[in-house]
Copies of this chain bind each other. A is one copy, B any other.
Amino acid sequence: MDTLIGMSTPSDLERVESRIIELVRNHLSVPATDIAESCRPVLHEVVEQAVTSSEGGKRLRARLAIAAFDAIRPHAGPETRDAMVDLACAIEVFQTAALVHDDIIDESDLRRGKPSAHRALAEATHSTAIGRGLGLMLGDILATMSIAIAEHAASCLHHPHALDSAFLHMQRDVSVGQVLDLAVELNPLDNPTQLADASLNVFRWKTASYTTMAPLQLGLTAAGIAPDRAAELAERIGRPVGVAFQLADDLLDVIGYTKATGKPVGGDIKEGKRSVLLADALTLSDAPARDELIAMYEAPQRDAQDVRRGIEIFTGCGAVDRSRERISALWNEARTAIASSGLDHDAQQTLIRACRMFIPDSCL
């Protein structure tokens, strides 16, 4: 996939990766003399966890933001582009903050194959409660830090106030999305159309907001596009790409490809997650399979056999194919939005390549 990425070259990826760690360490450098000696080890654990939690990841969001900037200003000077890289890093730092809190909400023990932040901090302090408290604070620290990084970078780019405001809006939208995501879990299963609508709506807030919409908006605005127009383009292009990305993530959970997600296949079924796939399966399956699914999802937990049976029903009834169709339709919507963006041909090509990163081949 990396060969498709155009302007956002592998060296950009390395640069983003090392710069994130540098920024996280800079923003957490508190003079040791300001901290009572007996408290330093715990603070040190939190700082190191901030770094560990920030490492890795595909950096898709940062790369999209940089690509959007490059699409408009392919010949920006090195200082301006450095500021854009920092702004892109800020999105990634915010994502880490959101994931740290998400893992506390979901009580997840693992993240990217390593212990989740609150679990690692619980290990380090030999206390589940203190680990959770430290994890919660780590998320807060990273969220605040991401804003500080974004604002410092924005001051060297076009439309700094619009950038600050877009960054804060992104954070709010993701939190609202998490609220909606929890609300969906309270949805009954007897109205699959309503469940599909609700899930797709959550994807716009919880995922598209910071995955594709904000990166596009920030990159385009920073490059000099008028803030209102940048916001509109980001909505028209980024919403369908971001929703398709989340649909693909849920689909990969069922059709395999563990390497791509780092999560065990069927994890969402095991957790009983209300998803678009589930809603489509409830709509498309025959009555016995539907009743089976409802019983399975209303049970307090699901075992490996339930997961296998769930995957079988999702595939057999056509819900998997329906997800692929949804993803293809959204991808076409995004391509149409790019084609009618009024941007020049090269800029359009850059945007198409960058957006294409979010749609795994196996999901189209």
User: Which partner residue on chain B sits nearest A155 by CB separation?
Assistant: B161
0/1 string, A154-173, CB within 8 A of B gives 1: 01000001001100100110
Other-chain residue from B43, B132, B139, B186 in contact with A180 (beta carbon distance below 8 A): B43
A155 / chain B contacts, CB cutoff of 8 Å: 161
How many Å lie between the Cα of A197 and that of B37 in the bound state?
9
Among the stretches A64-72, A145-153, A240-248, A332-340, the one at the interface with B is A145-153
Q: CB distance B164 to A151 under 8 Å?
A: yes
Q: CB distance B101 to A140 under 8 Å?
A: yes
Q: Which of A164-215 contact B (CB under 8 A)?
A: 164-165, 168, 171-172, 175-176, 178-180, 182-187, 191, 194-195, 197-198, 200-202
Known: A137-B178, A141-B175, A168-B147. A183 touches B101 (CB 8 A): no
Q: CB distance A42 to B179 under 8 Å?
A: yes
Known: A42-B179, A168-B147. A186 touches B130 (CB 8 A): yes
Cβ of A83 < 8 Å from any Cβ of B? no
A42 / chain B contacts, CB cutoff of 8 Å: 179-180, 182-183, 186
Copies of this chain, tallied across the complex? 2
Known: A147-B147, A147-B168, A176-B141. A184 touches B136 (CB 8 A): no
Cβ of A30 < 8 Å from any Cβ of B? yes
A349 to chain B, nearest CB (A): 31
Cβ of A46 < 8 Å from any Cβ of B? yes
A36 / chain B contacts, CB cutoff of 8 Å: 180, 194, 197-198, 200-202
Q: CB distance A38 to B198 under 8 Å?
A: yes
Q: CB distance B197 to A134 under 8 Å?
A: no
Other-chain residue from B125, B144, B165 in contact with A171 (beta carbon distance below 8 A): B144
How many Å lie between the Cα of A183 and that of B130 in the bound state?
8
A118 to chain B, nearest CB (A): 11
Other-chain residue from B35, B130, B179, B185 in contact with A201 (beta carbon distance below 8 A): B35
Q: CB distance A125 to B176 under 8 Å?
A: no
How many Å lie between the Cα of A39 and that of B183 in the bound state?
5
A171 / chain B contacts, CB cutoff of 8 Å: 140, 144
A165 / chain B contacts, CB cutoff of 8 Å: 148
Cβ of A104 < 8 Å from any Cβ of B? yes
Cβ of A143 < 8 Å from any Cβ of B? yes
A41 / chain B contacts, CB cutoff of 8 Å: 183
How many Å lie between the Cα of A151 and that of B147 in the bound state?
12
A184 / chain B contacts, CB cutoff of 8 Å: 38-39
A144 / chain B contacts, CB cutoff of 8 Å: 143, 147, 168, 171-172, 175
Known: A137-B175, A179-B46. A194 touches B37 (CB 8 A): yes
A267 to chain B, nearest CB (A): 18
Q: CB distance A43 to B179 under 8 Å?
A: yes
Cβ of A105 < 8 Å from any Cβ of B? yes
A148 to chain B, nearest CB (A): 5
A168 / chain B contacts, CB cutoff of 8 Å: 144, 147-148, 151
A172 / chain B contacts, CB cutoff of 8 Å: 27, 141, 144-145, 148
A positions within 8 Å CB-CB of B: 27, 30, 34-39, 41-43, 46, 101, 104-105, 107, 125, 127, 129-130, 132-134, 136-141, 143-145, 147-148, 151, 155, 161, 164-165, 168, 171-172, 175-176, 178-180, 182-187, 191, 194-195, 197-198, 200-202
User: Can you offer 10 A-B residue contacts whose CB atoms are under 8 A?
Assistant: A35-B201, A37-B197, A38-B198, A39-B198, A42-B182, A105-B129, A130-B186, A133-B182, A136-B136, A151-B168
